[in-house]
Structure 1
Amino acid sequence: MTIRTILTVAGVGNERGDLELAARLCQQTGAHLSVLVVGMAAPPPIGEYAAVVSDAWLQERQAEMHRVSDRVSEVTSFIAASAVSGDVADEYVELAWADESVGRRARYADLTLAGPNTLLSGTLKDKVIEGALFGSGKPLLLIPAGIEPTLSPKRVLIGWDGRIEASRAVREALDMLRGAQEVRVALVDPGQGEDTHGEEPGADLAAYLARHGVKVTVDRLPREGNSVADVLRRHATDTAAEMIVMGAYGHSRLRERIFGGVTRSMIENPTLPIFMAR
């Protein structure tokens, strides 16, 4: 996939780190920068105290809308002074629907970026990740703190489990994979047989990638009592990978939250850029 538009989501805070990071990535790739400024409204008061607190709630709502407007002005000025083309949209929405707003906007971008500030932002982080993955049909790139991102990584690790989500992530990342010097396909305790990974786990994906000109190696990794996420992170470090490509949420969001899952673990503790799709 050729990336021509990158979306980043900004809250009403004054942090510019993610915005600057996204602009640098757009400058590297010649992409257009799309920014969505999101303000999230608290639900209106209900019950016997609603009449007492409604004035305070309305005042806070109006103040928050002013903060969104101020943030839009800041982002507009930043883009005007930068070396990239860009556009700014804003939405002030009820907290419960913020992920839908992100998802709608992300449909008009090739990639949504969640940088270090977003990953530390609690509620905004959840809304950006869920909106991009569940509401857009487009990939998401997580960038942890201390890392300068690139869409031309030299070494890439693919976390492969044979699911549709992983297949979509690989397809969306094909341009990057073709340009990499080394791509390693990591399978953790892979099964054999037609209903899992075939008689030679990883061989089918390796053949598919090779036909696209990707330099690929297959690594079958034992769990040895560790979580799949920990095995992938450790192998990424051991192979000096600059990015992990993986599918997201093979199970429902609710199940991942209650029981844990590879996606949730990787999101909570990313050690290098993670390119996800669903």
Structure 2
Amino acid sequence: MGFKSVLCVTGADHSDRDVRIAAGLCAEVGAHLSVLIMSPPPLVMSPPPLADGILEWPVQRAQAIARLDKRFRQTERFSQDMARLEKRYSEIQKLLRAMSLCHDVDTDYCDPASVGDVVRQRALYADLTIVGPALLNDDGLGPPVVNGSLFDTGKPVLVVPKGAEATLSPRRVLVGWDSRAEASRAVREALDVLSGAEEVCVALVDPKANYNGNSAEPGADIAAYLTRHGARVSVDRLLSAGKPVATVLAQHAIDTSADMIVMGAYGSRRLRERLFGGVTRWIVGKLPLPLFLAR
């Protein structure tokens, strides 16, 4: 099963970079691109009451003026946000039409707390969501988009950090394997990518043979599975020597000249606020390599 429908979420104030990355990937595999432009309104706190008890007329008047002023500023901000969304919509439509790409573009202006749910509804009907460098570095929009598209749908996400060359046809792929369900799902979702690669390196850090995950030869089972799907697989069992798993995987990706890393996404609700927990976040921050994740 290939990627036939790809979702790209971008902010109204972002550049074209994320959309261009997603468009290039769709052109590469002949997929439909859905672009969602979002502009969450800022959270506005209500001013505290000016006094307790029965208010004197001057105080009541001051509060009424403050409420009217607040309403005016909200209306003015809403109009500006709508104009910016409309402008970005037209720009992206023009960009994608020039690329002769099958696409659709939509906008959404929702409460910040609802961003994740809005994205989740869109990601449910996509094979893959692209998280580009602009979205990745947007502390306000990035985390809820990742939560909605990755953690709440079971669908994969391709993270493209700044400086990474994005492709869905990588020559060399590093698979971070630990026999967990998340890693298995990532491999399953990336099968087309893995079977088309020239070389797939399955990397295990400090593996141990056990009845519950690895066979007597750690990595042999997943290698056999991938080989049946046409992948050309090698298995590397790595020793951490006290180093963090993320450090070991990142260095091995460099040593093997990997073009992409495929791995499971982990993280509790608390860690999700930082985009990813542990290994995944570290790799995103340190390596200019596309990271294919599934939860």
Provide closer, same or farther for how the CA distance between residues 65 and 44 of structure 1 changes in structure 2, counting only shifts above 3 A. same
TM-score (normalised: structure 2):
0.87
1:1-278 matches, cutoff 5 A: 1-48=1-48, 51=67, 53-249=70-266, 251-255=267-271, 260-278=277-295
Q: Which amino acid aligns with 1:20?
A: R
Q: CA deviation at 1:131?
A: 1.6
Amino acid at match of 1:8: C
SS in structure 1 of the partner of residue 9 of structure 2: strand
- Contact 1:45 1:57 (C-alpha < 8 Å) held by counterparts: no
Higher Cα radius of gyration: 2
Q: Which runs of 5+ in 2 are unaligned?
A: 50-65
Report the Cα offset of residue 245 of structure 1: 0.3
The alignment's C-alpha RMSD in Å is 2.0
Q: Is the 8 A contact 1:103 1:134 kept in 2?
A: no
SS of the counterpart of 1:123?
coil
Distance 1:138 1:124, change over 3 A: same
Q: Flag structure 1 segments of 5+ consecutive residues without an equivalent.
A: none
Q: Normalization by structure 1: what TM-score?
A: 0.92
SS at match of 1:64: helix
CA distance in structure 2 between the aligned counterparts of 1:196 and 1:27, rounded to whole angstroms = 38
| In 1, Cα distance between equivalents of 2:83 and 2:165 | 33
Contact 1:45 1:53 in 2 (8 A): no
Deviation of 1:179 after TM superposition, in Å, equals: 0.9
Equivalent AA in structure 2 for residue 16 of structure 1 = D
Deviation, 1:139, is: 0.7
Task: Give the Cα separation in 1 of the matches to 2:74 and 2:16.
Answer: 28
The 4+ residue runs of structure 1 with deviation greater than 4 A are 255-260
Alpha-carbon shift at residue 173 of structure 1 (Å): 0.6
